[in-house]
Amino acid sequence: MSERTGTSPRVAIVTGGSRGIGRETAERLAADGYAVVVDYAGNQAEADKVVAAITAAGGEALALRADVADETAMADLFDTVEARFGGVDVVVHAAGVMTLAPLADLDLDALDRMHRTNVRGTFVVGQQAVRRLRAGGALINFSSSVLGLAIPGYSGYAATKGAVEAMTLIVAREMRGRDVTVNVVAPGPTATALYLDGKDEETIARAAAQPPLERLGTPGDIAGVVSFLAGPDGRWVNGQVLRANGGVI
């Protein structure tokens, strides 16, 4: 159960909640009983679809637009959530961008964009989360299993996710005495638009054959891991990186 009391549900913010893993996570947490805030960067239509789906299933959701790397926008988002729902219990930072190229060829503007969203964004969202999460809460950031796979072409993206893992494990220790868990989910190849974009069928088939389970992950696979970390059964998991990748590494 995610209920704080008989009438007051726990509240979750999901960044990047309009598509892919973020969307699946928002819908899963809503099914778990959370009131869910869907943060989105620019695609209001997709965010509204998530809210509509949650509402149609009997849940409670709200879509809010905020750039995860903009400290003022994120502070305003958290203010709005606290005013609407009374507090925040779970923050899932699923927003991210990825550009692939060998290090020698990676456009530095693309590197800066990844750094802004993936590193600065994690820091900005994390600052608001650690200041505001209620006791019994959870902060869940996203990395990637490519850190361990060392796949050519991923140097810029993997570098940003290495930073995410480093800061998250430190924040877990900085939260001593607050009764708030802080963890990282690191998916392997997962069938989302972010992962599939620009890849040919051969590349996708090769990735699907890597895990012993012989398939790509699904957004639902990852949302289930987030649900575990956010809920009561995950309370003794803290300061960890969970590599949800079907056994690739």
SS (H, E, C) 24-78: HHHHHHHHCCCEEEEEECCCHHHHHHHHHHHHHCCCEEEEEECCCCCHHHHHHHH
Rounded to 5°, the CA angle 196-207-42 comes to: 20
Positions marked active-site: 157
> Please, what sign has the CA dihedral across residues 107, 72, 135, 10?
negative
Task: Give the 3-state secondary structure of residue 205.
Answer: helix
Return the H-helix or E-strand segment holding 181. strand 181-185
CA distance 171 to 190: 27
